[in-house]
Amino acid sequence: MEKKQKDLDQERSLIEMYSSGRGTLEEQFLDEMRNFIVHTLESGPTLESILQGASKCIRTLFQFKKVAFGIRCRDDSYRYLAMIGFENEAARRKIIYTSEDIKDIISYRSVRICKNAQFHLSEEIPHNQERENIYNRPNLLGTVRQHPDDMIEGDFIVIILQGKNKEIIGWIEVSGTTSGKLPGRETILRLEFFGSCLTPIIIGYPEGVLLHDDPKKPL
C-alpha cells in the first residue's frame, strides 16, 4: 500500500492557527473550564473535593475573594459543602437551610439578575446576631454604601443550580470582588455557565459517594 505523505507546510500552518498563543479571553475561559472538568473526571475522589476545586477555580477565574457551595443533602436540607476565603468556615458549615428557606424570598430578599443569579444586598439581609460570625468582617456590616456600584461586606451573589425537573440541587455563593466594585455582567453570565457545566457532575457523581448513609452527604 502506498505510504501517504503529510504536507508539512500545511501542518505547520494548522498548528500556527490553532495551537499558538494564549488566544482571546473567551478562548482562555473555555480552556480553563475544560481543564477543570477534565481534571475532575480524571481524579475527583469525593464530591466535596470536586467542589473545593471548583471554589478555587471560580476564585481564580472570576476574581471573587470568597466562594462557597451549598448543596442539597439526603435529608432535603441544604448545607455548605465546600468553600474558600472564609475565616470562620466551621460557623458556615453549621448552617442548615430547609427547602422552605430556599423558597422564602421574603426573608432572603434578593434582586434577580441575568438568568439564574440572585444578588443579595447587604442592606436587605435580616439582622441575625447569631450568624454574624460567618462574615470575615462583621464590624463592617451595615456600613453605608458610598457608591451604587460598590460591593460591600454582606453583599453576595447566588447562582442557583437546578437538577432534574428544575429542582434546586444547590447554589454557588460568591462575594467580595477584588476591585471592591460590582462584578461585570459577563462575569455573572460566565459564572452561571460554570454552574451549568458543574450540575451534571454533581448529580452524576458515582454511586458510593452519593449513596452514603450519612444524611449530610448530598443527593
- Residue 13 interacting with other proteins (CB under 8 A): yes
DSSP 199-219: HHHHHTPPTTTTT-S-TTSB-
Which CB, 88 or 179, lies closer to other proteins?
179
How many Å apart are CA 61 and CA 38, to the nearest integer? Answer: 16
3-state secondary structure of 205: coil
| Among 94, 145, 181, 215, interactor with other proteins by CB under 8 A | 145
Binding pattern for the stretch 121-140 against other proteins, x by CB under 8 A and - elsewhere = x-xx----------------
How many Å apart are CA 214 and CA 2, to the nearest integer? Answer: 63
- Residue 31 interacting with other proteins (CB under 8 A): yes
- Residue 26 interacting with other proteins (CB under 8 A): yes
- Residue 6 interacting with other proteins (CB under 8 A): yes
Note whether 116 and 160 are within 8 A (CB).
yes
Task: Give the type of residue at 168.
Answer: I
- Residue 211 interacting with other proteins (CB under 8 A): no
Which CB, 43 or 60, lies closer to other proteins?
43
- Residue 111 interacting with other proteins (CB under 8 A): yes
Binding-site size, other proteins (CB under 8 A)? 59
Which CB, 97 or 193, lies closer to other proteins?
193
Note whether 70 and 171 are within 8 A (CB).
yes
Note whether 59 and 85 are within 8 A (CB).
yes
By C-alpha distance, which of 23, 30, 22 is closest to 61? 30
Angstrom distances, CA of residue 80 to CA of 1, 45, 84, 122: 62, 18, 11, 20
Report the interface residues with other proteins, using CB under 8 A. 1, 3-7, 10-11, 13-15, 17-19, 23-24, 26-27, 30-31, 33-34, 37-38, 40-42, 111, 113-115, 117, 119, 121, 123-124, 144-145, 148-149, 162-165, 182, 185, 188-190, 192-193, 196-197, 199-201, 203-204, 206
